[in-house]
């Protein structure tokens, strides 16, 4: 590892510990990521973004801390927040390992415990971000209302305004979402990670899984499960089986995964193009 003076100096300002070496970390498509070796023997992970949106890293840090509140009660692990400022976030380093069946089972049980720790309502006190897009979190009385007005409508509007989604596909998605109260059984709000796709699940040593990059809010627990299933999490059957054993899901949950995948598909359409909008419409046609 070499030492990048600018990055190292910024980290030293926030940590109060000398940075011995730095190394770039691949994988992020928004922020610049760097591995830090500190003089106190610790290893840390730093990410920074020039001209970051307002409270971008502060919201992420707050989300990690909110999830970590459930960890002592068996909830899923998160990296330690070492420092945060408007332009940078520094976390404890998580050493990666191969996905295994025992870790998958432990993750399923831990995720169930995190969800069970609950939230004050459907939404959150502050708006956040999903990737680099704004995430509206103002609470609404029911999950069906929140899902339609905070998770679907804003991104469908962006897609319409940019002519990324066809009128027919948008109408199909809206028709499905309008049936949310009929499709999704009522449950108390769960403590959600909110962006729990494969890339935000780190398989660590000692059969642990650590989650990163949250977009937290109180919502229906099937949302996190749907996100895990969307892009192919390793050991997914073991995770789902352990979760369902620890916190049994309502009948038909597998059939509802697609309904709760509409939001991430629309987010991907906003970020990466119209093929995801068409895919969302195909999924929505099963529920419309």
Q: Is 1's pLDDT higher than 70?
A: no
Superfamily per CATH, domain 101-284: Aminoglycoside phosphotransferase (APH), C-terminal lobe (3.90.1200.10)
CATH 3.30.200.20 in the chain, residue ranges: 5-92
Residues 145/218, Cβ–Cβ less than 8 Å? no
Cα–Cα nearest to 287, from 189, 207, 172: 172
At 28, the pLDDT band (50, 70, 90 cuts) reads low
What pTM, to 2 d.p., does this model score? 0.95
CATH T-level fold of 5-92: Phosphorylase Kinase; domain 1 (3.30.200)
- In this predicted model, what pLDDT tens digit does every residue of 163-203 receive, in sequence order? 999 999 999 999 999 999 999 999 999 999 999 999 999 99
CATH 3.90.1200.10 in the chain, residue ranges: 101-284
Catalytic residue at 213? no
- Cβ within 8 Å of residue 105, ≥6 positions away: 238, 239, 241, 242
- In this predicted model, what pLDDT tens digit does every residue of 226-277 receive, in sequence order? 999 998 899 999 999 999 999 999 999 999 999 999 999 999 999 998 899 9
Instruction: Please tell me whether residue 130 adopts helix, strand or coil conformation.
Output: strand
Residues 65/19, Cβ–Cβ less than 8 Å? no
* pLDDT attached to residue 45: 97
* pLDDT attached to residue 218: 98
Of 195, 213, 244, 255, which is the active-site residue? 195
* pLDDT attached to residue 119: 98
């Amino acid at each position: 590892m070499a030492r990048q003076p600018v990055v190292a100096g910024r980290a030293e300002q926030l940590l109060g510990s000398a940075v011995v070496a730095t190394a770039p970390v691949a994988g992020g498509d928004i922020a610049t990521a760097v591995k830090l070796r500190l003089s106190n023997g610790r290893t840390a992970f730093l990410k920074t973004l020039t001209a970051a949106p307002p409270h971008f890293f502060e919201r992420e840090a707050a989300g990690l801390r909110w999830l970590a509140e459930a960890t002592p009660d068996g909830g899923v692990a998160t990296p330690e927040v070492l420092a945060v400022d408007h332009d940078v976030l520094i976390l404890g380093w998580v050493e990666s390992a191969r996905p295994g069946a025992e870790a998958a089972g432990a993750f399923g049980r831990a995720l169930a415990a995190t969800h069970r720790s609950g939230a004050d309502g459907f939404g959150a006190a502050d708006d956040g971000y999903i990737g680099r897009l704004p995430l509206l979190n103002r609470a609404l009385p029911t999950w069906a209302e929140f899902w339609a007005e905070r998770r679907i409508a804003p991104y469908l509007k962006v897609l319409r305004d940019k002519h990324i989604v066809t009128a027919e596909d948008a109408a199909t998605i809206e028709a499905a979402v309008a049936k949310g109260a009929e499709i999704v059984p009522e449950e108390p709000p769960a403590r959600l990670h909110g962006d729990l796709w494969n890339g935000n699940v780190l398989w660590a040593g000692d059969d642990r899984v650590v989650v990163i990059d949250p977009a937290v809010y109180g919502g229906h627990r099937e949302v996190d499960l749907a996100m895990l299933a969307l892009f192919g999490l390793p050991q997914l059957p073991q995770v789902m089986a352990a979760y369902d054993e620890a916190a049994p899901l309502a009948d038909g949950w597998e059939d509802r995964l697609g309904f709760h995948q509409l939001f991430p598909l629309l987010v991907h359409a906003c970020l990466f193009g119209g093929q995801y909008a068409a895919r969302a419409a195909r999924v929505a046609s099963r529920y419309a």
